[in-house]
Structure 1
Amino acid sequence: MSVKVFLELVEFKAKTASVLPFLIGICYSWYHYHTIHLAYVIIYFIAMFLFNMAVDILDNYNDYHHATDVHDYKEKTNIIGRENLSLKLVFNLMVGLIVVSALMGIGLSYFVGWPLLVMGLYCYLVGIFYSSGPRPLSSLPLGEFFSGFTMGFMISLICVYLNAYEQFEWNWPTLSAIFLISLPNTLWIANLMLANNICDLEEDEKNNRYTIVHYLGKKQSLHVFVGLNILAYLAILTSVVLHLAPVTTLGALFSLFVVYPQTKRFCQKQVKRETFICAVKILAVGSLVYVCFYALGLFL
């Protein structure tokens, strides 16, 4: 397996979806709790990254097995069939990544407490059943919620907990604050999945995958896509007003110069190979600018 094929198998280009929520968690930890446990968050980052790669391998693996014979998805679209990869090699690689990341997480929980085990277990269950089982989460009208909530909110929550576990309080004000600062990433990640499902509507239906787009229709789904982008910026404004983020975070509004035209372009045309990249750019630019201006406030 070449490096290029491996990177496509683990969908390396999509790793922005996990890295930037992690960085927002780092920023909030320092801004609100004034503490960073560098060793813990480095171990967590590695474990998170390995598991994220394993989930994407599992997604490709299950898509390959679940594909019907209605069209040539197996042979020409899925990376496993297209590159004629060994199923045994792919399976062993996936299991290896899951085991290593799980052991790292269990080791961390020994030092920071059992809440990490509970949060980690939730993330692992969502990651595994997102594309596994008789009715995978990704094939239901729940995929956008679970992907956005788990990657956008839970990654940030775990990061904050690791940095502040000695003083962390499990109450609604604490969780609501972390949810709000993670909400832009949560919505943009959900939108990435929504855009994917909009582009793949016909192919998904042929493979008996009935996502939320199947029930809403493309037109209404595009309205949701636009609405989630608007809500992301409202969340940024609210977090500053409530003093959960420094004033410099308002600079994230500059990303609108990229997000708006990309949103407009996607609404005009929904073709996977041509315009799905719009949702990727919205997530990457929106989240990156958000993190950068949040971090700038910490230095100033």
Structure 2
Amino acid sequence: MTQSKWLTWPVFVELTEIYTAPLNVIWFILGSAIAQLVYGTFNIENVLLCLLDVFIFDLAVNVSDNYFDYVHAHDREHYAKEVNPIGRLSLPLKRVGWLATSLYILSAIPGIFLWLNTGWPVLIFGAIGYIIGIFYTAGKFPINATPVGETVVALSIAYLIQLTCVYVSIAGRAPFTLATMGITFLLCLPLTLNFFCVQLANNIADLDEDIANHRHTLVYFTGKANALNIMKAGVIIGTLWPIVNVLLGKAPWLTALSSLILIAMWPGMQPFFKNPDKQKTYMGVIKSGSLFFVGYTLLFALGVWLQG
């Protein structure tokens, strides 16, 4: 591949994983619905700016992850050459690094407008997001090589994004308090637990690869059997938690119906529970998790609309 023509559309898709970007819309639908439920308002202009920011930032993080995973790889023969897209596609390392940097800079532009429209909390949320996104794979001790990686990712994607969405929706219209953070956490907990389980499943399937590359994730310390039990418990608690929120009076009654999705999710995850394999059974976990992400969010949003 020539240096001048290395960044084709297929390569861009491979590095950025742009095909996962539509899932970001779900996080913002939920965040907007929470703002509407609790405060009776949401700001479409700010929400769209925030969505654009997260969309570009997500692309940057994926490119950065591929870059630093390649740089840090101890398994140079298999992982670096055959698994990581930089080695597998013979991509110029420096240019991939510049692509990640360019996308990070580009993502900051809508963030600046968002800050001007709202206030300083956006800078704090943004700083936390950038630190997690960059150091997930960068640095001497990247987050993805530690036993807290799954938790950090789940909280940042399934809670911090929605919390930011709530803030930009109510900025200048209602106070942003600890109570706001608490109610948002409760309403995002079903997604957070299920997202944690999807991340945990990924690391269960990648255990041998992670060990070869000196990444000591939670699965490394618990073992596959215990990690699978944690995953099962997380899926059950997360999927049934909407009922708790309804009983606490924090969510519309329609949200409780999302717990029925567990009936469809569990069979889709069973093959992975029996044989946790990245190529053969992991996609069932992704599909089951996505089914709940979409189902819970849409039922919650519909419940808010009917209640309003």
TM-score tier by shorter-chain length is over 0.9
Of 191, 200, 204, the residue aligned with 1:194 is: 200
AA matched with 1:20? I
Counterpart in the other structure of 1:169: 175
TM-aligned CA distance change 1:168 to 1:269, over 3 Å: farther
> 1:278 offset after TM fit, Å?
2.1
CA distance in 1, matches of 2:48, 2:198: 26
AA matched with 1:31? L
User: Do structure 1's residue 178 and structure 2's residue 184 form an aligned pair?
Assistant: yes
Partner deviation per Cα, 1:1-32 (whole Å, 9 max, x = no partner): 33233222112343365432222101111222
User: Do structure 1's residue 133 and structure 2's residue 153 form an aligned pair?
Assistant: no
Shifted more, 241-250 versus 53-62: the winner is 241-250
CA distance in 1, matches of 2:49, 2:179: 28
> 1:56 offset after TM fit, Å?
0.8
Unaligned runs of 5+ in 1: none
Partner deviation per Cα, 1:141-190 (whole Å, 9 max, x = no partner): 01011100111110000000010112443433221110011112211221
Q: Secondary structure at the match of 2:280?
A: helix
Of 231, 240, 243, the residue aligned with 2:237 is: 231
Of 106, 109, 121, the residue aligned with 1:115 is: 121
Q: Is the 8 A contact 2:16 2:63 kept in 1?
A: yes
Shifted more, 1-10 versus 289-298: the winner is 1-10
User: Do structure 1's residue 94 and structure 2's residue 100 form an aligned pair?
Assistant: yes
Deviating 4+ runs (over 4 angstroms): none
Of 5, 24, 29, the residue aligned with 2:11 is: 5
Partner deviation per Cα, 1:121-158 (whole Å, 9 max, x = no partner): 01110111111101100000010111001111100000
Counterpart in the other structure of 1:242: 248
Q: Is the 8 A contact 1:11 1:53 kept in 2?
A: yes
Ranked by relative contact order (alpha carbons within 8 Å, sequence separation 6 or more), the top structure is 1
CA distance in 2, matches of 1:281, 1:247: 25
User: RMSD between aligned alpha carbons?
Assistant: 1.6
Partner deviation per Cα, 1:22-71 (whole Å, 9 max, x = no partner): 22101111222221211111111011010011111111111111112464
Of 150, 158, 168, the residue aligned with 1:152 is: 158
> 1:118 offset after TM fit, Å?
0.7
TM-score by length of 1: 0.95
Equivalent residue runs for 1:197-212 within 5 Å:
197-212=203-218
CA distance in 2, matches of 1:258, 1:86: 44
Q: Is the 8 A contact 2:239 2:261 kept in 1?
A: no
TM-aligned CA distance change 1:2 to 1:85, over 3 Å: same
Q: Secondary structure at the match of 1:267?
A: helix
TM-score by length of 2: 0.92
CA distance in 2, matches of 1:258, 1:5: 35
Of 216, 224, 230, the residue aligned with 1:218 is: 224
CA distance in 1, matches of 2:244, 2:196: 20
CA distance in 2, matches of 1:16, 1:249: 22
Counterpart in the other structure of 2:3: none
TM-aligned CA distance change 1:106 to 1:122, over 3 Å: same
Q: Is the 8 A contact 1:17 1:283 kept in 2?
A: no
User: Do structure 1's residue 288 and structure 2's residue 294 form an aligned pair?
Assistant: yes
Shifted more, 76-85 versus 217-226: the winner is 76-85
Unaligned runs of 5+ in 2: 1-6
CA distance in 2, matches of 1:163, 1:193: 29
Counterpart in the other structure of 1:33: 39
> 1:101 offset after TM fit, Å?
1.1
Partner deviation per Cα, 1:198-237 (whole Å, 9 max, x = no partner): 0011111111111010000000000110111112123211
CA distance in 2, matches of 1:230, 1:87: 42
